[in-house]
Amino acid sequence: MRKFRFHFLGLVHLPCSPRYNACAYTQKNIKLAKMLSSLGHEVVYYGAEGSEVACSRFVQTHTLRDLRQDYGDGDNRFEIGYDYRAGNFREDFNPAEKMRSTKKFYECSIREINAAKRDDDFLLLTMGYYHKPVHDGTKMFLTCEPGIGYRGSYARFRAFESAHLRSYMQGVEAERGRKDIDGHAYDRVIPNYFDPDEFTFRAEKKDYVLYMGRLIARKGVYTAYLAAKDAGVHLKIAGQGGLVRPDGSFASKVDPSVSFPSGGWEYVGYADVGQRRELLANAAALLVPTVYLEPFAGVHVEAMLSGTPPITSDFGVFPGTIPDRPDGVVGFRCNTLGDYVMAIRRAGDVDHAAIRKHGERYLMDNVRWEFQKWFEDLYDVYESAVEPGEGKGWYRIYENEPLKAEIR
């Protein structure tokens, strides 16, 4: 197994810390750095003050003070200057004019990478086009996007969270270029990955179903309310920016279209790491009735690792993660409200240990080998570029394939 050096670009708007566990990309960065380090690679991580990442060297690109100045309300209870539990995280992904902290991130990353880089180092872009200025400023051959769950990707080498997202992006890009849709041998599908220490398997469940996610209409929180009400079970709701009105009704502060009357539900607010563990372990089922095409929806695998059946929509990532089995051996995929209600009623009959076993496919110890294989293949491309010849790159044949035994 070859060892590499990775220049790993983090997020700008948050420190990379378990404190911000509602940010999927923050948590993915933490775990990817941990996986790469566990394989013996050298990881140089670039990000905000306060980041907690397993790496060989941490390069602080900007400070918490920078974040407070750019995004804060002056709320000194929080290191980033605002109550992120009461609403969505603040960022500048779309505005043409970037915040001061983002400009500092770009400038520092480019300067530090150019001072230390070797020709065969990898540059990991974890935010696609948002990180492109660093790629433009460093011109590294082995630039890749290792966890695409977004639409703004562009790099030559890309790993997508799900097969459906890869196919979708290939179709969109072909349409824009008015050309045929062809695959790319060095694009990969590598699923999201999870730390077993963060979840507790529990076969004995309590009498509630759980919705955990953003409180927006497209995530299906209203469907979760309707399904739980019609199934006659208690619904617990966890997420940023919920509001219980004086009359007992529910509203979302981040999506004014989301509201429903009192009765049959409980809003538990922002769930930190410990609360998340217990909510998932004890729930009879997790409702994930997302309307849009989910790139991955990591919470449904977190439910599996807790032995809890996910009840999801029937498109996006879910046909690839939940087998098409009516007995709910892993979970239930639904189309109509009646499907959701029936799935809730049948959630108590599932094999919780089988659900956990299926979810283990997504543990870090398994997925890390898929990354290793991809990076080895990309390094072959690099070698063929710097020293062309027969038997290199795509044409290289190995006598043994030691990584195959690790990928399962």
DSSP states along 371-386: HHHHHHHHHHHHHHHH
pLDDT surpassing 70 at residue 402 = no
Tell me how far CA of residue 28 lies from CA of 59, 126, 148, 351, in angstroms: 18, 9, 11, 29
Tokens 């969270």, residue located: 161
pLDDT at 32 > cutoff 70: yes
Query: Distance (Å, rounded) from C-alpha 354 to C-alpha 309?
Result: 10
Distance separating alpha carbons of residues 158 and 88, to the nearest angstrom = 28
* 328 SS3 class: coil
* Those residues with Cβ within 8 angstroms of residue 284's Cβ, 6 or more apart along the chain or in another chain: 205, 206, 207, 208, 209, 233, 308, 344, 347, 348
Provide φ and ψ at 65, rounded to 5°.
-60, -40
The answer to whether the CB of 280 falls within 8 A of the CB of 205 is no
Q: CB under 8 Å, gap of 24 or more: what pairs does 50-58 form?
A: 50/15, 50/17, 50/79, 51/10, 51/15, 51/16, 51/17, 52/15, 52/16, 52/17, 52/18, 53/10, 53/16, 53/29, 54/30, 55/8
Q: What are the tens digits of pLDDT across the range 322-381?
A: 998 766 689 999 999 999 999 999 999 999 999 999 999 999 999 999 999 999 999 999
Token reading at 390: 């027969």
Q: Are 251 and 258 in contact (CB under 8 A)?
A: yes
pLDDT confidence bin for 400, thresholds 50/70/90: confident
* Separation between Cα atoms, residue 116 and residue 400, nearest integer Å: 34
Residue 288's CB is within 10 A of a number of other CB atoms, namely 29
182 pLDDT band (50/70/90 cuts)? confident
What is the distance between the alpha carbons of residues 242 and 258, in angstroms, rounded to a whole number?
10
- Report residue 149 as tokens: 């769950």
What is the three-class DSSP state of 244? strand
Percentage of residues in the chain with pLDDT exceeding 90? 88
* Conformation bin of residue 316: beta by default, left when phi > 0, alpha when psi is -120 to 50: left
CB 372 within 8 A of CB 404: no
Q: Token match 């807790």: residue?
A: 306
Residue 13, judged by CB atoms within 10 A of its CB (0-12, 13-18, 19+), counts as: buried
pLDDT recorded at residue 33: 98
Q: Residue 404: its pLDDT value, please?
A: 47
- Give the separation between CA 61 and CA 8, rounded to whole angstroms: 12
Q: The pTM is what?
A: 0.94
Helix ranges (H only) for 95-208 are 100-116, 132-138, 163-177
pLDDT higher than threshold 70 for residue 86 = yes
pLDDT tens per residue, range 102-142: 999 999 999 999 999 999 999 999 999 999 999 999 999 99
**Is the torsion defined by CA of 282, 285, 289, 293 positive or negative?**
positive
Domains observed in the chain:
5-189 (3.40.50), 197-362 (3.40.50.2000)
